[in-house]
Copies of this chain bind each other. A is one copy, B any other.
Amino acid sequence: MPNKAQLLLLDKHAVAALLQPEAVLAAVREAFVLHSQRLGRVFPLVREALPAGGVFGIKSGDVATQNLLGFKAAGFWPANRQLGADAHQATIVLIDPATGRPQCIIDGNAITTMRTAAAGALGLMLLARADSRRVCVFGTGVQARAQVTYALDVLPSLTQVTYVTARGTPDPAFETLFAARCQVALATDCNAAVAACDVVITATPGGGPLFDAAAVSPGTHLNCVGADTQGKRELPAGLLSRSRLFVDDHVQAQQVGETQWLQDMPCTELGDLLDGTHFQRTQSDITVFDMTGLALQDLTVARMLQQRAMATGAGCSMAWPW
């Protein structure tokens, strides 16, 4: 019925109302399984520097078995900060793979944040010690907050959040956010904070090693978010080689993740652990999850939002005739 076709629009408010952490986690888990099974495809990346500054790119892909085709047009516009807006901007479009008609246009900013943090949550569930009590987080920005929020959800044993800021100064807003759920304290000594924690989350711009390799205690799990471009890193040299290394995608991790600094290091794709590969950590293993971001995460989360919106009447559905 071409003439009755509809286009669903989900702006930031609609997305905020629909974006539930548990459902995002389930969608991201599905993306990792699809990736492990190679049922989800990722098309060649478009990524271009913009003459006026910033970067623009398009990540596209499909999952034939799920009737899913789409892309995220996104990038980084540093001048947005002067407007009080997010430098990262993303728009997601779902296309009907049977007809080529656009189905859904979605503000992708919050999706990017939460799908990244949900991948971190998967890393914690699959790799961190179940009795982990203390988490140390580097950074207090949007992604650091999202990672800690998930960490408190998926590791109920956590009772203490230690955080590190770039300038060593407290972040009262960050503390307030988690004060009701656990103890929150600023760390003044990065190495001591890492040594005392069971879980370390690095969510900084990736400008260099954040602590010493020797500071990491046996049994620690590290979620590494900040290294997503050539030249970026947060981990010190000498740490990966004494860790069990997990990545979201082999190729991306070696190109742009922490793994770029030790490319011949054996690693396992996290999705494989959800699809039959057995891994049981010892109490003394150091585990590292090097996250670079799967395009499929955007698509599975976008599709979940589309389905929720259609079921609840959320968003704006308009005629979009053929």
Contact = CB atoms under 8 A, between A and B. Distances in A.
Nearest to A74: B100
A86 B2 CA distance: 10
Contact of A73 (B44, B52, B71, B321): B71
A64 B52 contact: yes
Contacts of A74: 100
A12 B46 contact: no
A277 interface: no
Contacts of A12: 321-322
Interface residues of A, number: 53
B73 A95 contact: yes
Contacts of A93: 73, 91, 93
B102 A77 contact: no
Contact of A11 (B13, B48, B90, B320): B320
A43 B48 contact: yes
Contacts of A48: 41, 43, 60, 62
Q: Which of A50, A75, A86, A319 has the most CB of B within 10 A?
A: A50
Contacts of A84: 2
Q: Give the oligomeric copy count.
A: 2
A56 B44 CA distance: 12
Nearest to A109: B322
A58 B56 contact: no
A105 interface: yes
Nearest to A1: B83
Contacts of A62: 48, 50-51, 56
A240 B309 CA distance: 56
Interface string A49-92: 01110101010101010000101011111011001111011110
10 contacts: A2-B85, A46-B60, A52-B64, A54-B100, A56-B62, A58-B71, A73-B93, A73-B95, A79-B99, A85-B99
Given A7-B105, A71-B73, A83-B99, 12 more contacts: A12-B321, A13-B321, A51-B62, A51-B64, A52-B97, A56-B62, A75-B100, A85-B322, A89-B101, A90-B100, A91-B101, A93-B93
Interface of A: 2, 7, 9, 11-13, 41, 43-44, 46, 48, 50-52, 54, 56, 58, 60, 62, 64, 69, 71, 73-77, 79-80, 83-86, 88-91, 93, 95, 97-102, 105, 107, 316, 318-322
